[in-house]
Amino acid sequence: MPVPREEFLGSTWRDGIFNDKVLFCTGGAGTICSGQTRAFVALGGNACIIGRNVEKTERMAKDIATARPGAKVIGIGAVDVRDPKALQDAADRCAKELGGIDFCIAGAAGNFLAPMAQLSSNAFKSVMDIDALGSYNTARATLPYLVESASKHKNTGKAYPTGTGGRIIFVSATFHYTGKPLQAHVSAAKAAVDQICFATSIEFGPLGVTSNVITPGPIANTEGMERLAKSDEHTLKRSKMGIPSGRWGEVKEIADATVYLFSEAGSYVNGHALVVDGGQWRVAGGDMGGYQYPDFLLSGDVVSGVKGGKKSKL
């Protein structure tokens, strides 16, 4: 059963703006990235999503394909973004089977709550490798195809008779803008992701490619929020009250931001971090996922759910 369009895409967009275009998306079986891909497919495009879990990735690809009759969506599992060869092979397969790569989303990520006292070097490295190195590997694998697409669909600021192409979006976070407890690993990784994006915009902008970051805030009904936030009623209410817009976001709002950056409307946006968080980062305090700062640090309590996490002697 197809997901109702109003659940993953705003009414702003005209059908067919991505006709015959191809999107390559890492982390495509996740809640946010699958929503981004679904919106792209609904507007005429075809897609290839990448993930580590074969069954989950292939199942999600079939589900996304229901967004538009005749859509082609490939799911390639058993691909770790930390492996540049596996990622390059996936990109090459995508281009061969779907006819090229016009757009890319570097969305694979890892996160969990952990204070530095419980965060091992291996755990820190794992997040850095998935988020930062994975984003770099994704860019490296797809940029030759994006340059080719950009050469066919010139970014001149005028109407595009053949549509847009040659664009990449990296998915980041706001933790490193203000600092956040329990997120040293992710803050470091996402800061690196931002800089990879900006370097891409500088070096490949002259070749017609645009490179931008989308930074989601707390998005409802996502795997990330299930992992990163306590679910009791008091904590949820407090979390939403701390956001100027007064609520958590919806997956469709990240999808709409994605369509904007990929569409003709976003042609002159390059090297930009588009924050979609209801204004949360502007008033960000020291709390994280219901753990109140500095109380939880001074209490000596251990954050639950950290794999192998034990209180160190720090």
DSSP letters, 265-292, are GGTT--S-EEEESTTGGGG--S-BTTB-
Please report which helix (H) or strand (E) contains residue 122, including its range.
Answer: helix 121-127
Reported as a pLDDT band with limits 50, 70 and 90, residue 285 is low
For residue 314, the model assigns a pLDDT of: 60
> Averaged over 244-258, what is the pLDDT?
94
**Partners of residue 273 on adjacent β-strands:** 213
Residue 14 per-residue DSSP state: P
CATH for 15-299?
3.40.50.720
> Averaged over 269-293, what is the pLDDT?
85
Of 135, 149, 172, 263, the catalytic one is: 172
Please report which helix (H) or strand (E) contains residue 62, including its range.
Answer: helix 54-64
Q: Could you report how far apart the first and last alpha carbons of the chain are, in Å?
A: 52
> Averaged over 133-156, what is the pLDDT?
97
Catalytic (active site) residue 267:
no
For residue 44, the model assigns a pLDDT of: 97
More confident residue, 2 or 165: 165
127, 138, 280, 297 from 135: Cα distances, Å: 12, 5, 25, 32
Catalytic (active site) residue 96:
no
Least confident of 29-33, 162-166, 195-199, 308-312: 308-312
> Averaged over 71-86, what is the pLDDT?
98
For residue 306, the model assigns a pLDDT of: 64
Q: Residue 288: what residue type? A: M
More confident residue, 312 or 57: 57
> Averaged over 238-258, what is the pLDDT?
90
Residue 312 predicted with pLDDT over 60 = no
Least confident of 19-28, 33-42, 160-169, 267-276: 160-169
**Partners of residue 73 on adjacent β-strands:** 47
> Averaged over 124-148, what is the pLDDT?
98
For residue 160, the model assigns a pLDDT of: 75
Reported as a pLDDT band with limits 50, 70 and 90, residue 142 is very high
What's the predicted TM-score (pTM) here?
Answer: 0.90
Alpha-carbon torsion angle 47, 11, 279, 112, nearest 10: -30
- Please check whether residue 218 is in contact with residue 243, taking contact to mean a CB–CB distance below 8 angstroms: yes
What is the rounded distance in angstroms from the CA atom of residue 93 to the CA atom of residue 108?
19
Percent of the chain with pLDDT over 90: 70
19, 123, 223, 254, 259 from 8: Cα distances, Å: 18, 33, 16, 9, 11
| φ, ψ of residue 137 in degrees (nearest 5) | -60, -35
Of 21, 180, 190, 252, the catalytic one is: 190
What is the rounded distance in angstroms from the CA atom of residue 173 to the CA atom of residue 253?
15
pLDDT digits (tens, 9 = 90+) for 4-61: 888 888 888 999 999 999 999 999 999 999 999 999 999 999 999 999 999 999 999 9
- Please check whether residue 263 is in contact with residue 13, taking contact to mean a CB–CB distance below 8 angstroms: yes
Residue 105 per-residue DSSP state: E
Please report which helix (H) or strand (E) contains residue 126, including its range.
Answer: helix 121-127
pLDDT digits (tens, 9 = 90+) for 178-220: 888 999 999 999 999 999 999 999 999 999 999 999 999 989 8
The two tokens of residue 98 are: 């779907």
Q: How many C-alpha atoms does 77 have within 13 Å on its Cβ side?
A: 11
